[in-house]
Amino acid sequence: MAARPVTIGLDNLCSFGVSSLPGIPPGRAKALEHLGIESAYDLVTYFPRRYIDRTKQALIADAVPGEQVVLVGRVEAARVIPTRGKLSLVEATMADESGSVTLRFFRQPYRAKQLNGFDREVAVFGRVELFKHRRYLVNPVVDPIGDRTGQIVPIYPQREEAKITSETLGRLISGVFNLYPEVADTVPRSIRSELGLLDRWDAFQLIHHPNVLADAQRARRRIAFDELFRIQIVLGLIRRARADRSVGISHRAAPFQGDGPALVSEFLDRLPFELTSGQWRTLEEIAADMAAPAPMHRLLQGDVGSGKTLVSLVAMLIAVQGGYQAALLAPTEVLAEQHFKSISALLAGHRVRERDQRLLFADDHREVSAALLTGSTSKARRARVLNDLAQGHLDIVVGTHALFSEEVSYRRLGLVVVDEQHRFGVEQRSLLRDRVESESGVVPDTLVMTATPIPRTAAMTVFGDLDLSVIDTMPPGRKPVATSWPQGEGAEKETFEFLKSEVGRGRQAYVVCPLVSESDRIAVKAVEKEYERLAAGPLAGLRVGLLHGKLTAKAKESVMDGFRSGEIDVLVATTVIEVGVDVPNATVMVVEDAGRFGIAQLHQLRGRVGRGSDSSFCFLLADAESATTERRLQALCASTDGFELAEIDLELRGEGTLLGERQSGRSDLKLASILRDRDLVEHARKHASGLLAQDPYLTSHPWLTREIRALFGEQEVSYLLRS
Ligand code: ADP
Ligand code: MG
């Protein structure tokens, strides 16, 4: 009677080094290292980059110049071609029964020997080029596929140094499956059957050796789900551990629950407009969190102009009406000042009960107080702000990273609002909170706002340790900003003529020049020159102001004040105006050299107009430098929906840019895509939460526990699982 094979888990595969596998001598292990493969786990998760479906393979005769192709054939007569100069060139002819094509390799002298050594079929990938009626592939990827019998041949990512063919890799990977015929599945059967997912080890085998392409698809889906599920489990554990372990504040959150005259309800009564339904809903979510004893960790999303700042201010007033302080952290001085100004204006005349009864005489109420603290706050002023914060005379402080400084201490910090999260590291975000916790033993609530939207499933993954609130409405009366990309000779002239006609109607405008780095003096010179050119030429006769990051804080403030009050018609600026600047009378945004900006930035810049009830216009001036530039600018012209644009952006830039900062090492997504696999992200989130609700410490899921320990780090996970 054959014994059942011992079941092992992915965690075991992580600890089996490749050199302990059969058929892997030391030399080969070294080569695998070049591919980042050190363990059996690395080997089975080294997924094919593509497959060749040999039933549908293109014939060489059909290869069309300009197109990317996969061709399979035999290589004949590889030879070194003498060239003048040092550039080495190897040429070879590749043929199948339909015809032939020439392969050219520059700077790869070893190819002559290598290609002549193959007596079997080879797959090549590259773009077909046409030169003097002959078709060429220049520096194609070459992969000997050998005499594999299957119809679907996996092709693995290659690296020159490794010199391991797809065929060899495929064989080594099969070796793992032969050695370990059974590996534990960590996703409960009920979830698998609800989602129609394959058994896991079957999926691993099928992704490497599919019988038909549909197998590879199903296998990919299963393995992608696992990646997302593990991440959601870990994020869920982080949320749970935080809620369990830290002592938060139960704020007096309901609008009418205030101390004395209810600050929040009065504030809302006196607002000149009604909150939108999205603002109400998110505020209710925030208020519920704040009222609860566990610390809030919430992400507030909303499109540019949806009124996030106002929502965050109400949250701050919830803290203040219960006698707590609130801090608002902004990424730039300009934005901090802007926030401070608008908050101060909204707060005028609002009163709160003084907490420290000793200070009181007849009236126990005082005005809600707010202050600004940035790197350029004067010494004397700074000393006063620090003192007022420590004494509790100050309710709200708005500032830049200066708020992180060691000398800043708070009397009763109850809420931290972090604006434009992506500019701060995750560590920075928690710095302030952790310090307050260590000083007072209490964790203040945290509300994070992003400048531009992030697609929902990306937010669930990248900011998945936070609860998510989305403002999905815009204040009434907003008209979408009419966006165009004028091209051709007269484009600039016509744009500025239009701008002038708007100024003639009493409106204002921005002209944004790109600036590579704010600190670069040469770049600042370039902006100054552009300002002079515009003021003397296309914008002659208008009152033009200049704003860039290198101006003194005072100069910046006076230019912004001039623009706000209408003394300046046109603000020529760098992207310092990108975030937060709010002048409803401005209706024209001109972005010069718009190809230099990303989608999110352009959307943010465009969001500076369209803030009043008048029609607004955005002009993107740019040459089409590349296909992606073109796609970006066209997307901006076609859509004003920030969430839609965020998806296009992520697609164009790649997901790594978003994930990179937050995830490291083995927890990386190898197969799953937060855009393509939207449905899986949602399922993973839902099922991970469900599982943790039933089994918060994963006691009845030992395989899953072992796996996330191995993949996410023993220490981190132990910390999360300790009750
Ligand atoms: P965000 O920070 O989300 O980009 P803002 O907070 O800057 O948006 O809000 C944009 C503008 O809309 C501000 O001038 C703000 O006062 C105004 N605003 C916010 N909420 C409303 C509302 N419910 N009705 C009308 N105007 C609003
Ligand atoms: Mg709370």
CB count within 10 Å of CB 292 equals: 16
Ligand 1 atom 20, closest CA: 307
**In the CATH hierarchy, which fold is given to the domain comprising 263-292+306-355+363-450?**
Rossmann fold (3.40.50)
Amino acid in position 545: G
Whole-number pLDDT of residue 445: 93
* Ligand 2 centre distance from Cα of residue 331 (Å): 25
Q: What is the predicted pLDDT for the residue at 498?
A: 96
pLDDT exceeds cutoff 50 at 485: yes
Contact 384, 358 (CB under 8 A): no
pLDDT in tens, 145-157: 765 545 788 889 8
Taking a C-beta distance cutoff of 8 angstroms, is the pair 216, 206 a contact? yes
* Distance in Å, CA 238 to ligand 2 centroid: 17
Residue predicted with more confidence, 411 or 432: 411
Q: What is the pLDDT of residue 421?
A: 58
- What pLDDT shows up at residue 408? 87
Pairing between β-strand 122-131 and β-strand 134-138 as defined by DSSP bridges: antiparallel
pTM: 0.78
Residue whose CA lies nearest to ligand 1 atom number 12: 307
pLDDT band at residue 582 using 50, 70 and 90 as cut-offs = confident
Q: How far is CA 50 from the centre of its chain?
A: 26
Q: What is the mean pLDDT of residues 602-622?
A: 91
Three-state secondary structure readout of 586-640: EEEEEECCHHHCCHHHHHHHHCCCCCCCCCCEEEECCCCCCHHHHHHHHHHHHCC
pLDDT tens-digit series, residues 520-570: 677 778 889 999 999 999 999 999 999 887 888 788 889 988 999 999 999
pLDDT of residue 261: 53
The residue ranking higher by pLDDT, 427 or 614, is: 614
- Give the pLDDT confidence score for residue 68 in this predicted structure: 79
276 Cβ below 6 A of ligand 1: yes
Q: What is the model's pLDDT at position 666?
A: 41
Q: pLDDT tens, 510-520? A: 999 876 555 66
Long-range contacts of 158-162 (CB under 8 A, 24+ apart): 159/34, 159/35, 161/31, 161/34, 162/31, 162/32, 162/34, 162/35
- What pLDDT is attached to residue 363? 56
Mean local confidence (pLDDT), 635-653: 90
pLDDT in tens, 272-315: 899 999 999 999 999 999 999 989 999 999 998 899 999 999 99
For ligand 1, whether the C-beta of 450 sits within 6 Å is no
Please report the pLDDT score of residue 67 as a whole number. 82
The CATH architecture assigned to 50-155 reads: Beta Barrel (2.40)
Q: What is the mean pLDDT of residues 588-606?
A: 91
Question: Is there a contact between 682 and 457 (Cβ–Cβ < 8 Å)?
Answer: yes
* pLDDT range class, residue 133, cuts 50, 70, 90: confident
Question: Helices 642-653 & 627-638, crossing angle to 10 degrees?
Answer: 170
Q: Identify the band that residue 663 occupies on the pLDDT scale cut at 50, 70 and 90.
A: very low
Distance of CA 205 to the CA centre of its chain: 32
Q: What angle do CA 550, 555, 556 make, to 5 degrees?
A: 65
Residue 375: is its pLDDT beyond 80?
A: yes
CA distance 15 to 11: 7
d(CA 103, CA 423): 46
Of 252-256, 299-303, 453-457, 582-586, minimum mean pLDDT range: 252-256
- Whose CA is closest to atom 26 on ligand 1? 475
CA of 275 to the centre of ligand 1 (A): 9
Question: From the CB of 186, is ligand 1 less than 6 Å away?
Answer: no
Task: Identify the architecture of domain 482-639 in CATH.
Answer: 3-Layer(aba) Sandwich (3.40)
pLDDT in the model for residue 431? 67
Residue 636's contacts (CB-CB under 8 Å, 6 or more residues apart) are 483, 485, 599, 602, 603, 606, 618, 620, 645
Q: Do domains 50-155 and 263-292+306-355+363-450 have the same CATH topology?
A: no
Q: Is pLDDT above 80 for 56?
A: no
Domain boundaries, the chain: 50-155, 263-292+306-355+363-450, 482-639
Over residues 364-389, the mean pLDDT reads 90
Lowest average pLDDT, out of 363-372, 388-397, 638-647, goes to 363-372
**Cβ atoms within 10 Å of 619's Cβ, excluding its own:** 26
Please give the pLDDT value at position 362: 46
- Half-sphere exposure of residue 12: CA atoms within 13 angstroms, side-chain side: 12
Please give the pLDDT value at position 424. Answer: 54
- Provide the pLDDT for residue 360: 45
Other residues' Cβ atoms within 10 Å of the Cβ of residue 64: 10
- Res. 662: pLDDT tops 50: no
Question: What integer pLDDT is reported at residue 664 of this predicted model?
Answer: 40
- Taking only the tens place, the pLDDT of each residue in 675-693 is 889 999 999 999 999 999 9
pLDDT of residue 714: 85
Q: Is the pLDDT of residue 660 over 80?
A: no
122-136, 236-250, 417-431, 560-574: lowest mean pLDDT where? Answer: 417-431
The pLDDT tens digits for 425-446 are 555 556 667 777 777 778 899 9
**pLDDT for the residue 510:** 96
Element at 258 (helix H, strand E) = none
- With a CB cutoff of 8 Å and minimum separation 6, the contacts of 468 are 298, 299, 301, 456, 459, 460
Task: Judge if the beta carbon of residue 582 lies within 6 A of ligand 1.
Answer: yes
Instruction: Please give the single-letter amino acid code of residue 273.
Output: F
Ligand 1 pocket member 310 (CB < 6 A) = yes
Q: What is the pLDDT of residue 488?
A: 87
The finding on whether 309 has its CB within 6 A of some atom of ligand 1 is yes
| Sign for the pseudo-dihedral over CA of 206, 210, 212, 214 | positive
- Ion ligand 2 contact residues with beta carbon within 5 A: 248-249, 290, 445
Is the pLDDT reported for residue 459 higher than 70? yes
Q: How far is the CA of 422 from the centre of ligand 2 (A)?
A: 24
b/e for 468-498, b at 16 or more Cβ within 10 A?
bbbbebbbeeeeebebebeeeeebeeebbeb
What is d(CA 131, CA 153) in angstroms, rounded to the nearest whole number? Answer: 31
By most ligand atoms within 8 Å of CB, the mutation choice from 309, 337, 344, 417 for ligand 1 is: 309
Furthest CA-CA distance within the chain: 102
Which burial class, exposed, middle or buried, applies to 651 when counting CB atoms under 10 A from its CB (0-12, 13-18, 19+)? middle
Looking at residue 549, its pLDDT comes to 78
453 CB within 6 A, ligand 1:
no
At 657 the pLDDT is 60
CB within 8 A of 37, min separation 6: which ones? 18, 43, 46
- pLDDT, position 482: 96
Per-residue DSSP letters for 307-330?
A: -HHHHHHHHHHHHHHTT-EEEEE-
